[in-house]
Amino acid sequence: MKKHNFSAGPSILAAEVIENTAKAVTDLNGIGLSVMEISHRGKDFQAVMDETVALFRELLQIPEGYQVLFLGGGASMQFCMVPYNLLNKKAAYLETGVWAKKAAKEAKFFGEVNVVASSSDKNFNYIPKGFSIPADADYFHITTNNTIYGTEILEDYDSPVPLVADMSSDIFSRPVDISKYALIYGGAQKNLGPAGVTFVIVKEDILGKSGRPIPTMLDYQTHIDNGSMFNTPPCLPIYTCMETLRWIKKLGGVGKMQEINQAKAKILYDEIDRNELFVGTAEKDSRSVMNVCFVMNEAYKELEQEFLSFASSLGMVGLKGHRSVGGFRASTYNAMPVESVQALVDAMKEFEKKHKK
């Protein structure tokens, strides 16, 4: 039986993306070779790279002056690469969770870090509001979707300094005004492809100002100058990303994706709010469309493990919440079909019937 895959990452990919990747692993476009065994500099792989970049540009409507890069090292490598390239004296960070904290920690190796606001007082269950961004910071860093806590920044902030965003877990889930950002990065393994490739969208004119020498591999300019082929890129993960982008385009683009995602999240949040056994952990106005976090209501605490086993018996996997939040986390990324969300809601209703006091 095909499972209902609620995993937070690596996570669900569209069935046709997996099937098409499997074909390319066996034989890329009928050339008689696997995508894994050809030169990254040959024309067959170059076509994959070019199409992936072109689809990034088209689907996100990336303006002139920005470059799209595919690198190794995960989003975690970007935590240090961003300040290495951009931090001169001081950077501002919005602390909305563990990933945001990890990003700020790396920046401290390069200069002063100003945490403009934090939601750590409530275990990161909300997005802070009303903070001010220091005008003398070299950049302002945010994490748009907090994968662990199920909170999300759903607007594109106006920032007086270059805005840098970790969009690992919500890239391509909605339209984004790229012109408001100086740099966007993320690991592919949440909403785009398999683990192993990191995307970076960078505005070229913010580079070259840090005033420090940068090791070749950690310098964005190296990868811009070499079209992400200074060294061997993660060819197979890039191929799968391309298939995902083709699939998103076929469905109607990121606007359509957002419509579908909002509808899926609403079905689940409505049930959490209605069902007496469960309660959502994130504040309502900060709720993520990608990761829906909830726990058993106090009176039903002892049923947590039983609900997980019940869901598991119905083919649902990846529902256990992150250890720092507990309870459950249903990740409803782009590739998650509404049928799986409905199956979870049905399970919650049935569980309520059985256990309601």
Ligand X SMILES: *Cc1c(COP(=O)(O)O)cnc(C)c1O
Write out the residues near ligand X by the rule CB under 6 A: 9, 74-76, 99, 143, 147, 166, 168-169, 187, 190
Give 230's DSSP letter.
Answer: S
Contact indicator for 329, 293 with CB cutoff of 8 Å: yes
Q: Which helix (H) or strand (E) holds 165?
A: strand 163-166
- The 3-state DSSP class for residue 184 equals strand
> Does 99 qualify as catalytic in the annotation?
yes
Q: Which helix (H) or strand (E) holds 340?
A: helix 338-355
Chain-centre distance for alpha carbon 66: 20
- For ligand X, the closer of residues 20 and 332 by Cβ is 332
Distance CA 297, CA 274 (A): 12
Q: Is the dihedral of CA 268, 100, 177, 159 positive or negative?
A: positive
Distance CA 79, CA 102 (A): 7
Distance CA 232, CA 39 (A): 9
- The 3-state DSSP class for residue 204 equals helix
- For ligand X, the closer of residues 5 and 143 by Cβ is 143
Minimum CB separation of residue 1 from ligand X in Å reads 28
Instruction: Single out the catalytic residue among 2, 50, 156, 166.
Output: 166
- For ligand X, the closer of residues 67 and 168 by Cβ is 168
The gap between the terminal CA atoms of the chain, to the nearest Å, is 33
- For ligand X, the closer of residues 6 and 99 by Cβ is 99
Minimum CB separation of residue 145 from ligand X in Å reads 6
Minimum CB separation of residue 146 from ligand X in Å reads 7
- For ligand X, the closer of residues 190 and 246 by Cβ is 190
- The 3-state DSSP class for residue 265 equals helix
Minimum CB separation of residue 9 from ligand X in Å reads 5
Contacts of 68 (CB under 8 A, 6+ apart): 53, 56, 57, 62, 199, 200, 201
The full DSSP string for 268-293 is: HHHHHHH-TTEEE-S-GGGB-SSEEE
- For ligand X, the closer of residues 95 and 271 by Cβ is 95
Q: Could you identify the residue written with the tokens 């995902």?
A: 244
> Does 247 qualify as catalytic in the annotation?
no
Distance CA 8, CA 282 (A): 16
What is the DSSP pairing of strand 316-317 with strand 4-5? Answer: parallel
Contact indicator for 9, 331 with CB cutoff of 8 Å: yes
- For ligand X, the closer of residues 143 and 173 by Cβ is 143
Number of H-type helices and E-type strands within the chain: 9, 14
Distance CA 45, CA 234 (A): 11
Minimum CB separation of residue 187 from ligand X in Å reads 3
Instruction: Single out the catalytic residue among 190, 203, 264, 320.
Output: 190
Minimum CB separation of residue 314 from ligand X in Å reads 26
Minimum CB separation of residue 99 from ligand X in Å reads 4
Provide the annotated active-site residues: 99, 166, 190
